[in-house]
Amino acid sequence: MVYRGKQRTMPEILIELREDDPEFKQAISAQGFRAGQTIAEPEALNLNLYTLMKGRVQLIREGPNGRRLAIASLGPGAMFGEGALLRAEDSTVKAVALTDCIIWAVGAPQAQELVMRYPVLSWGILQTVGERLVQVENRMEEVAYKRLPERLAGLLLELSNGGRAIRGTSHQALADMLGTYRETISAILRGFKDAGLVELGYRKIELRDVRGLQAAAGSIE
């Protein structure tokens, strides 16, 4: 098999790999999750390697005081649960579906064998780790230089992905991504609504004034 990674996405490559290799197909456990569902608790993340085939996932760290912080937001093709390969345990991080998702999971022993056999899996893991590091660096810069309303406006623009609506994302999920409380996010969103920037619904945020949000995020003069 010849891989042309620049032309195909990781999910496309893995689907072809599953079709070509019966052992790989047998090792995979595929499952769908609804937005807000927990995909894997910390123990499961240490025992399985996961690939996000469709949707978006958050990695959430829970502190001893009950505070939640999203340490990464992952898109299709991302691989997580690297503890299954590195034998490094973390009892505080879990994976939660940010939108409806399709996940492939492989147990640790088989994951180690498959990563050795197919370098494309190692490349997928390294790519995901690199993206997570960029997210951490960007978040540190935003925390240092931007107020929370600016950060929330920028996050809404990012999640909309150039569209006009964000679906399936709760106020709690937004709070986790920004490291604050749900009540604080809800209050800022109400302010955005009063200013005509957004319209709010159940697990839906409609962007009414994109340019106004860009100004609020500090991305335009």
Q: Check whether residue 130 and residue 152 sit in a common domain.
A: no
Residues 168 and 137 in one domain: no
- Among 119, 143, 167, the domain boundary falls at 143
Return the pLDDT at 88.
65
| 138 and 164 fall within a common domain | no
pLDDT in the model for residue 199: 94
Three-state secondary structure of 11-54: HHHHHHHHHHCHHHHHHCEEEEECCCCEEECHHHHCCEEEEEEE
Residues β-bridged to residue 93: 61
Say yes or no to pLDDT of 112 above 70: yes
Is 213 a residue whose pLDDT tops 80?
Answer: yes
Looking at the structure, tell me whether residues 109 and 198 fall in a common domain. Answer: no
Indicate whether 73 and 163 sit together in one domain. no
Listed residues 86, 116, 143: the one ending a domain: 143
Q: Count up the domains in the chain and report the number.
A: 2
Domain membership of residue 56 (yes or no) is: yes
Same domain flag for 158 and 193: yes
What pLDDT digit, counting tens, does each position of 73-108 carry? 999 999 999 877 877 667 889 999 988 999 999 998
Q: What is the pLDDT of residues 55-64, one digit of tens each?
A: 999 999 887 7
pLDDT value at position 5?
43
Burial letters 148-175, b for 16+ CB under 10 A, else e: ebbbbbbbbbebbeeeeebbbbebbbbb
**CA–CA distance, 97 with 115 (Å, rounded to integer):** 25
- What distance in Å separates the CA atoms of residue 110 and residue 115, rounded to the nearest whole number? 9
| Residue 123 reports pLDDT greater than 50 | yes
Q: What is the pLDDT of residues 157-212, one digit of tens each?
A: 988 888 899 988 889 989 988 888 899 999 999 999 999 999 999 889 999 999 99
Mean pLDDT for the stretch of residues 125-153: 86
Rounded Cα distance, 176 and 170, in Å: 10
> Quick one: pLDDT band at residue 8, thresholds 50, 70, 90?
confident
Both structure tokens of 23: 């052992």
Q: Dihedral sign for Cα 130, 7, 58, 159, please.
A: positive
My answer on whether 139 and 156 are in the same domain is no
Q: pLDDT higher for 3 or 148?
A: 148
The answer to whether residues 99 and 159 belong to one domain is no
* In-domain check, residue 221: no
